[in-house]
Structure 1
Amino acid sequence: MDYVDFIKEYHLDKHKNLESNIADFYRQTNTLSTYRHCWDVAKEAIKLDNWFKEDLYIAGLLHDISAFIPTSCRLEVSQALNIPILEEEQEFPLLLHQKLSAYIVKKCFKINDAKTISAIKCHTTLRGNFTDFDLALFLADKIAWDQPGIPPYLSKLETSLNSSKEAAALVYIDYLFNNGIKIIHPWLRSAKEELEAK
Structure 2
Amino acid sequence: MMENAKSGSLQKAVNHFLEQHQCIETYNHCVSVGDYAYQLGEHILNDPSKARIAGLLHDVSAIYPDNQRINVANKLGIQLYKEELEFPMIIHQKLSKQIAISEFNISDSEILSAIECHTTLRAGYSDLDLVVFVADKIKWDQVGEPPYLEGLLKALDQSLEHAAYYYIDFILNNGIKVIHPWLWDAYLEIGDKIF
Same fold by TM-score greater than 0.5: yes
- Cα distance in 1 for partners of 2:11, 2:35 equals 14
Who is 1:59 aligned against? 54
Partner AA of 2:108 in structure 1 = D
Name which of 89, 104, 110 aligns with 2:105. 110
> Can you list the C-alpha shifts for 1:46-71, whole angstroms capped at 9, x where unaligned?
11112322111111111000001010
Alignment of 1:16-165 (within 5 A): 17-50=9-42, 51-165=46-160
> Can you list the C-alpha shifts for 1:82-139, whole angstroms capped at 9, x where unaligned?
1111111111111100000000000111101000000000000000000000000000
- Alignment gaps of 5+ in structure 2: 1-7
Partner AA of 1:119 in structure 2 = A
Q: Percent identity?
A: 46
C-alpha displacement of 1:17: 2.8
4+ long deviations beyond 3 Å: none
- Alignment gaps of 5+ in structure 1: 1-15
TM-score (normalizing by structure 1):
0.90
Q: Secondary structure of 1:109's partner?
A: coil
- Cα distance in 2 for partners of 1:197, 1:104 equals 34
C-alpha displacement of 1:18: 2.2
- Cα distance in 1 for partners of 2:141, 2:56 equals 13
- Cα distance in 2 for partners of 1:110, 1:43 equals 21
Partner AA of 2:127 in structure 1 = D
Measured on the aligned residues, the alpha-carbon RMSD in Å equals 1.1
Name which of 141, 148, 162 aligns with 1:167. 162
- Cα distance in 2 for partners of 1:17, 1:168 equals 32
